[in-house]
Chains A and B, each alone.
Chain A
Amino acid sequence: MSTQESNNGPARVIPNWESCIDCGACEVACQRTWDLPPETDRIQVLALDHGTEDETNKPMQCYNCSEAPCVEVCPTDALRIRDNGSVRVSGDMCIGCHYCGVGCPFGAPQYPDAGVPEADEASPLGARGNGLMDKCTTCEPRQEEELEPACSSECPTDALLFGTPDELSEKLSEDGVSKPFNDEAAQVVFGDDADEIMSG
């Protein structure tokens, strides 16, 4: 079982594109696990090339990028890469400027409106409302209990792969698993280890 304490990089959830059937189980699992309202999109199944022959459905969320563009552009250091490599947002420091939303290539930052209950300071993993940035936390509290993130554990088709970089590299080498990113995106997500991980 992977945990956030793994020392070869943060545990991530990455998509196995071709397996996704757009059932929405990941979205529901996320919202139910963290008692989030339907307006939150910490993970979202997007219909790409909608209405064309190439239409496909892809689950997208925060990948805890090694070279996180959101961290670079955040003016208040509300976003930071923790020692274990995960990207965390501090609700106490975010000013809701949306720079991270412009910078993130995967559409991970969300800005729930006032209808979403705000996280209190003692529970920073709660959803943030009032226009503050909110994103996938890779279910770190579940990882501490040796559990997979809710989305990947409930995905019926194994369209969400969870693990440390080494574990993901193994999974990506298995038959029937699609490459999650092109070279450019892989560099952002995995940094210098991109080639090694992506080649499986």
Chain B
Amino acid sequence: MVLEITFDVPYSQWNWQVAVYTALIGLAAGAYLTGYVADLISWQRDAREHGPIAKFGYLIGLVGIGLGGPILLSHLATPFRAMLIPLTMTNFDSWMTIGAYMLGGMGLGAFLMFAWTAFGRTRPHRRTTDEDGPGGVAADGGSDVATDGGSSEGGPAKAATGGDTADGVGTAEERNGVLSQLDAIADYTRPTEPVRLAIGGVFAIFAAGVLLYSAMAFGSGSFERVALWDKTFLIPVMLFSGLGAGLTASVGLAAITENPTNQTIQNYSLIGSGFLVAALGALAATIFLLPEQLPAAEPAIDNMLGTYAWLFIGLAVVAGIVVPVLLSIGAVLGQRRDALSPNAATASYAIAGFLVIVGKIALSMSYLLAAEFTPLPLPV
């Protein structure tokens, strides 16, 4: 029998920047996808109450990509070289290359879809002052013209985000006209609704690719040196956590602007909780089943439950999944039973939205910090 010794070097390749990057792009992709579904439903059912989820889903998608990209670039030795994606990213066997193109596509899509849904007098999902009566488009979509700058005289309301009383935005607009220019550009470039949604659908494919990439980015090649990152277990975790965090964060923002929240937003909150519970199930499967199937993963699981328990159990699981689920479900039940004030419900959704972002980052950090290279037995 050949005596084998273990060639074991500690995992030391990536740092917090890669973890934050994968978390933000997963969050962004989940938000974009759920936002797009809301956008689609809103158009099909002619029900504008889905609109805020769509708008904030696109916004979170845009911000997530906008922050995640530079954070990753800051990790690289030559960020400017890496930015020349068409020239440098040429190996399509590498998920980093695939992901780079997916991110580019989704980033463009999130920008366009957000701009088309958030700006302009004729933007979709807008509220009207008199139920789409003549000239009744209201400023930022508020039906209450007193608070959003819309016109109560039957004439056209001031456009989009530029209402006179829209939390100071209107004042800025009066000063420099930037927002009115954005409104004009959005109205000029926005295609018809079917075409806009078709374009959004194409970009949703890129977003789905980014969501998958948020798992595949934890890649160690065909040799699969990091057993903790086994794709059978990691992909469900990242898919469900991305969708759950993205939707719950969108609900949080929508609740802040749509106080008191309507039943549609409550339903989205419950769906977001469902995704988070699914992520919890996938994590439980990882903890209990992965070491059985891949013994090399056991040290990393021990790290997650030991050295990094505060990060994984405390922040990622409890603060990032369990508490947001309880807050969301509690807020919905409280509202439907008239046991919770609108402000308290809004606060619950908003806090849940904040916590899932923290939890998503903590989850990615856990997967990175707890990682161990699979020891390579060498014969002696």
Contacts and interface: CB of A to CB of B under 8 A. Distances in A.
A17 B81 CA distance: 40
Given A56-B380, A58-B378, A182-B377, A102 B88 contact: no
Contacts of A77: 90-91
Contacts of B76: 95-97, 131
Contacts of A54: 5
B96 A97 contact: yes
A102 B221 contact: yes
Contacts of A95: 76-79, 81-82, 88
A67 B95 CA distance: 18
B380 A18 contact: yes
B7 A98 contact: no
Nearest to A109: B13
A97 to B, nearest CB: 6
Given A56-B5, A72-B94, A76-B88, A103 B77 contact: no
Contacts of B96: 73, 75, 97, 99
A96 B75 CA distance: 8
Interface in A86-108: 93-99, 101-107
A107 B9 contact: yes
A74 B91 contact: yes
B94 A98 contact: no
B80 to A, nearest CB: 9
B192 to A, nearest CB: 38
Contacts of B95: 73
A101 B93 contact: no
A188 B89 CA distance: 25
A76 B2 contact: no
Contacts of A179: 2, 379
Given A48-B6, A75-B89, A95-B76, A102 B225 contact: yes
Closest 7 CB pairs of A and B: A96-B77, A131-B77, A103-B221, A75-B96, A69-B221, A75-B94, A75-B97
Contacts of A181: 378-379
Interface residues of A, number: 44
Given A56-B380, A72-B221, A105-B223, A99 B77 contact: no
A23 interface: no
Contacts of B78: 94-96, 130, 132
10 contacts: A49-B6, A73-B95, A74-B94, A75-B100, A76-B88, A97-B75, A98-B13, A99-B96, A130-B78, A182-B379
B292 interface: no
Interface in B363-380: 376-380
Interface in B158-181: none
B221 A73 contact: yes
B77 A132 contact: yes
Interface of B: 2, 4-9, 13-14, 75-79, 81-82, 88-91, 93-97, 100, 219-223, 225-226, 376-380
Contacts of B14: 98, 102
B82 to A, nearest CB: 4
Contact of A111 (B77, B220, B222, B380): B77
A18 to B, nearest CB: 6
A147 interface: no
A58 B7 contact: yes
Contacts of B219: 73, 99, 102-103
A98 B96 CA distance: 11
B238 to A, nearest CB: 17
Contacts of A67: 222
A73 B94 contact: yes
Given A75-B94, A188-B223, 7 more contacts: A69-B222, A72-B221, A75-B96, A76-B90, A96-B78, A99-B96, A99-B219
Contacts of A46: 7, 9
Contacts of A97: 75-76, 82, 96
Contacts of A18: 380
Interface in A151-200: 178-182, 184-185, 188
Nearest to A93: B88
Contacts of A99: 94, 96, 219, 221
A193 to B, nearest CB: 18
Contacts of B8: 48-49
A12 B93 CA distance: 26
Contacts of B7: 46, 48, 58, 60, 106
B88 A105 contact: no
Contacts of A70: 221
Contacts of B93: 72-73
A185 B94 contact: no
User: Which of A18, A67, A73, A98 lies at the interface centre, i.e. has the most chain B CB atoms within 10 A of its CB?
Assistant: A73
Given A75-B91, A95-B78, A130-B77, A178 B100 contact: no
